[in-house]
Structure 1
Amino acid sequence: MGDTSVKFSRITILVLIIIVAAWPIADAQFEIVGQLELGYEVRNLAVDGFHAYVCSVHRTPDVMYVIDISDSHNPDSISALPLGFSSEGLCVSESLVYLAQQQLGLWIVDVANPASPRVAGVCDSAHFCHDVVTAADRAYTASCYRVCSIDIQDAANPQRDWFENRALELRNIRMGASKIFVISHLLSDYSYTVTMYDIASSDHPALLTVFDEPYDIYDVAAHGDTVYMVCGDSCLRVMDVTDGLNPRLIGSCGIWSGGWKIALMGSVALITSGTRVQIIDISNPAMPSRIALNYYPPINHLVVEGDLIYATGGPGFGWFYILRLVMNAAEDRGADRPTQFAQFANYPDPFNAATNITYELSLASSVRIEVFDIRGRRVEILLDEWKQAGRYRLSWDAAGFGSGVYFCKVTVDSSSKTEKMLLIK
C-alpha cells in the first residue's frame, strides 16, 4: 500500500482555531504531592504500580533510577541500573522495562525485584533505537530510518521479525487503540511528520497514513480513535482516525509558545512547552480550549497515572515530582473533575483463597482494577473495560498466590483509589 498523505487546509485551520487573547483562563495549578532530587538531569520516565523508572542524561555512566512511589508524599530512589547510553525512550509492562538504548538497540530489564534490576534481554533493532512502545507480546521501536516489530514473548531472547525502512529519521513512537504513530524528523529541512500504522495484525503493521502537515508535529497522544497532535505553529489539532485511510480534522486550538510533549488526563490535555505546562480542556474534542498555564514546578516530561501526574524537571532538571492538578472549585467545570466513584473495602478481609471487591459508579466510566503485591509488582488485572453507572462486585480468586499483603487499585477514568487486602492461608 502506498503512502496516503493528509494535508491540513489552512482555511480549515483558520475556521477552527480560537484566538488566544479571547480565551477565559481558569485558576488551575499543580500541587506538589511529593518530590525527590536525583542530582543529575533526568528526562524520560515510565510508571507502573508502585514504582517509577527515570533515565538520567549527561552522567557517566547514565543510569535508570527505580523510584518507590508507594508513599506518594515521600518518593524514594531504591536502585540505579547503569546504562550503555542515555535512553531516549522507555516503557514498562508486567515487571519488564523496555529501554531504547541508541546504538545498543532495545534493552529489556527485569524489575521483578525493584531493588536489583537486571538486563534480561537485548535486541538489535538496527541503527539508533530512539523510542519504544509495547502491546501484548510485541515491542515497536523507532530507529534511524526504520520502524521495527519485535517479538518479546521470551524476554531473554527478543526477536525482530518485521521492519520497514523510511526516508526519514524516526524519533518517537506513540500508541493508540490498535494503531501506532511514528514521529519522524526530516534532516534536509528539520521538519517533523507523523506516520500511522495499523497493528491489528501485530506482527506485520500496515501503513495507513502519513500526516504531511505544513507545520511540524512534535508529539501525539491518542484516546481511542481521537488523536491529539502538538504542532510547531503553536496549535493543537484533533483528528478522528476511525477510518485510518481517511482521517479527519475535527478540532483545533492555539497554544502558547508551541509545545513539545502531550499527555491526556481525563477531559484535559497537558502540554509541556519549555518548562511550562499548558492545560487544555478536551471534554469536547471538536472545541478544545486552553484553561491554564502552569509555571511551577518547571517540567520537561510527564506521565499521568490515575489522578496523579509524575514529572521530571525542576532547577537544573534533576528533580522527580509527584503532582496533583487542582482546579478552581468555584468554577463550574464538571467535565474537568474526575468521575466520582466509591470503592468499598474487600470482603472478607483477611481472606483465604477468594475475596469480593465492590465499587460504585455515579457515571458511565472506564474502569480498571489491578492487584499489586507488597513490593509494588502488579500480579493481576481483574478488569479493564467500560461500565455503566451502578454498583458492581467481582471476586478475586487468589488460590495461586502466597499469603501476605496485597493492594487492590481501582482506576475510574483519571481517578484511582487503593485498598489493602490480607491473604492468609
Structure 2
Amino acid sequence: MIGCGVMLGVSVGFLVANHLVEWLGFRKTLLVFNVLEMMGSIAAGCGVTARSYELFIIGRFIFGVGNACVVVCGVYVAEISTNNHRGSLNVLATASFSVGILLANVVGLPQLLGTPDNWQHTCWICLVPSLILIAAYRFLPESPRWLCRKQQDTGKLAAVLQLLRGRQNVDADICAIQDELEAAQKLSSQKLSIPDLFRDRFLRKITGICLLVMAAQRLTGFSAVFVYSTEIFRQCGITQALASYGTIILTALSAVVALLGSPLQDIFGRRPMLLGGLFGCALCTAVMVVFTVLTKYAACNTCQYGNLVAMTLFMVCYAVGPASAPFLFTAEMFGMSSRQSASALGYLVNVSLATVITAVFPAMQAYLMEWTFTIFTGITFILAVFLSTVLVETKGKSFLEIQSMLEDRFCAGRKASLESMISQRTDLE
C-alpha cells in the first residue's frame, strides 16, 4: 500500500509535469515539485508520529508527485547543455540518483536507522535534498529554449546563453535555437501532449523507438538484481549481515562507474554505450543462470562465487550505458514542441515496468527457479539486436541535426526544410 502510494503519485506527477513546464518554465516547475516533496515528507513524518497510516500514505503520495521532478530535470539538463557536453551532464544527473540510492542503503543499515524504532526518521531526512535545491534555486538559469518559445525576449535569451556558455558572442546559439523553434512550429504551433505523439506518423515511430529503449533498460533485469540482491547473496551462502553490505557495495560500484564513465557518452557515443551495455547485461545474466544451475546440482563447489562475479559485472555493464542512455536518447530525439511530453511518457513506462518486474519477480523465481534470468537474457538480447538497426548516433549533434537524421531515415519527405535551416545556420556561423 505504501509503495503503491508513492508510485501512484509519481505517475500523476509525470502526467502533469508537461503542463507545469509549459505554464511556469523549468525553474519554477522544479521549485513546485520540490515543495511538494517537502510537504509529502512532512505529512509522512507527522503520520508516523501521530500513528495515522492514512496521513502517512497521503504524505507518500504527495512525495511521489514531487518526485516526478526527475523527468523535468532530465529535459532541463539536455536543453541547457552544449552539443559536446550534453551526454556527460545527463549521465552525471542520472548518477546522482545512484548516489542517493547508495546513501539510502547506508542509512537503512541496522546500525543506523534500519530498525523498527528508528526507520521513521528517514521521512525527515528526505527534506534535505529539497532544501538544497531550494537554496540553489536563485542560481538556476531558465532553459533558453523555453525562453525563446514562450517569451521571445532576445535580450533575456542572450543573457542566459552568455551565462551558460561563458562567452559574450552567442549569436550562433540564438540562431540554432530559433531554427529549432521554427522546425517545431512547422510540425505544430502548440505544445504537443502525450496522445499527440501517436497521431503523427514520424513522431509515432520515434516514440516507439524511445519506449523500446526504456523497456530494454528495465528488461535487463536490473530491478530484480538490485531489489533482491540481498536475497541472491544469501542464496550464495553469505550471511544476512554480509549480504546487506554486499548490496551497498553493488550500489556503490554502480554509482562510481556511472560517475567515472560520464565522459564516455560524449567520447564513444550514446549508441555503442547503450548497445554494448545491453549485450553485456544479457551475457552476465546468462552466466548467472549457468552458475546457479551448477550450484544447485552441486556440480561446482565454488560456483556461487562465479555468480557473485557475474552479478557485479552486470551492474558495471548496466551503469556504463543502459542506466543513462535511454533518458538521453528520449531528450535528444524529439523537437522542442514534443520533448517534454515524450520524456514524461518514457519515464512513466520506465517506472511502470520497474514496478511490475519488482512485483512479479518472486513469482517468477517460484515457478522458474534457477532458470528465472533466462527470460531477461532472451528479451534483452532480442531488443539489443533490434535497436542496433534503428538507433541513430546523436553524439555532438544539435537538436536540429538529430531531427534531420531521424527524418531522413523515417520520414524523408520533411528532410529538405530541415537541411535548409541547418545550411543557413552554418553560413551564419
What band does the TM-score fall into relative to the shorter chain?
A: under 0.3
Which structure's residues are more often strand, by fraction?
A: 1
Higher helix share: 2
Give the structure, 1 or 2, with the largest relative contact order (CA under 8 Å, sep 6 or more). Answer: 2
